[in-house]
Structure 1
């Protein structure tokens, strides 16, 4: 791509450009260039007419005319033809692409001009005025430039691949009904710019970018930007146009909306992207599936739920979400309390006096999947006047769930059966989304004292494993395999010499380390920050089957049939199995001696 004659206009009769002479148009201020190009690293010859930043290397293409119909040989040209349209003509003079306007009897008045905004315009010009009849800004490909307005039918469509401009899978446009910007993958919504719900906020798009997309007309809240974008004065708008003049938004082939800014010192830099992480994808883990940005495996089912398709889940396809393990709407229903969660739009909301009435309202409706109680002061902080207590009810499947969510919201109470979250009478209460099966213990009043190595932060719902070296975040607990996974982040040992090595981790009875794996470059940066990476180690730890449960009275043994509370040889009272029964620590039961082949009798 070369400068050619550095002209910016094509007129009727004789001023065309061709794809075999290296001719281009260059805007007056030398900001953009138009001509024929072939994508770099393309394995076959395909020629397109496009617009790119002047002298960008490699070329940063912002618009393509014939994206779905490439030229396969030389000899083509771009010209204003006898009917007054701007057309790509192949080597035989046949039209290959056209602006598609009605024919005119005065083609000599028509001219095509490349502007410094990156807009290609086709005008009708005479001695009195010049009228724009067609412009590339009304027909964008994958890039949004300052001066465009994302409204009406305007949409961006991704390239098919990094080297193929054909229409790809993703589109980006404004949803006129909701007022939100939406990325779609075919007919499926992939990402939206706005709140997940009225009360569980989602900071998905900075206000200044929404303002840029609206061509400086959208009303937005105050910002920390040096420019006050809430005052639409003429002076302010001029400043904003200058501020955003070196910016562009591109819809990437993977469905990422990228905001780029140019600085003479740093060249182009990525300032923001959406979805900015794996959990920002709309309903990333499917219905009743919860996404955690900080876990290597992003998705897991809520307690009381299981993958809708175990095979898909194992293969990393979480779109099918989760289904209930057991039906609710019975007398044994209870609620799982989840904190720092994001959740999708609610079905019902109404004013109420207290949380008890909100809970009762959910229990009275079958099925009500979840409820949340929003106190008056929370409403007032969110500028909801007048402030009042609000009950939120979810009758539809829970969607768009995310754990450890930075922007917070009211507690979410998910309806489950007691059996879903309590394996035995002495099981500890769930810690957020983690069910803590017996014998694991988070306190002196639950689990087995020998397994008291866990800590639940009730304010956040985060579960930790305590060791003499410190506390480690627990990401999953698997009762069936008697294992749990802890995670160590920010480790500074992701280099060629340590990559793939097994990490040493000291444990003591009744815990044992099974395996560890080091992951590198797995954590993406959050929104409005450059993408970064860090190391991460996941350690799989198992626990030995427990002894008979401790007890203080006979009622403590009710959950373990065929046992009685007795004092052992070392003075500890335990639910010892009755005559002809043996303790099976794996089954957590007293089993008949004749059928106890799998029993494990631990030394007291």
Structure 2
């Protein structure tokens, strides 16, 4: 085998080993914000299926298929995070992510939009009036529009309200020219509260529990786990917990 080929194989082996050995390591803080397992801000920590981004200013972002949104809250115990929806463009009833058609998650990744979100569509076409959404004059979106100064351009248009989380909104909050051109969202909104107690707009996402870390050999696992074949994924080996211990997907360890 020639030297360049040997070097290439060595590099590939080291990269593979690093990904396995470090897959259950919690990422360092992003600025002052903790990054809980399994969320990952680099290839050397967290689970690579749970990628988020830490910018140079110490702020976390969630990248969708077509855009990026600031993360405003993370709750590791409930496996949920909140992102900030796009704002309205100045003096318009159009959100800044209209060109990218709103929020679109990758449905092959372990994140989805929760049913805790109350979504308000604004600047909608008349076709929405025949939808199952609440587009009546008593819809909560009117409370938001009438009480929010930068939403004043939306006052004369059609708006609709609904709770997210159904099959059509588990991975997408869509805005488009032929539907609704603007939206906002509130998490765990109590409709009986006045607008000034709704809190800041946000969209809550949840993540599925991560599985045990992938391994190449026993050297990739700690003393509480063994590297064995994954019955659910052909050709994959994972660090499975020893007898008497259970995998803790929140802490990323085998525990009693």
Scaled by the length of structure 1, what TM-score is found? 0.22
The structure with the largest alpha-carbon Rg is: 1
Question: Relative to total residues, which structure has the larger helix share, 1 or 2?
Answer: 2
Question: Relative to total residues, which structure has the larger strand share, 1 or 2?
Answer: 1
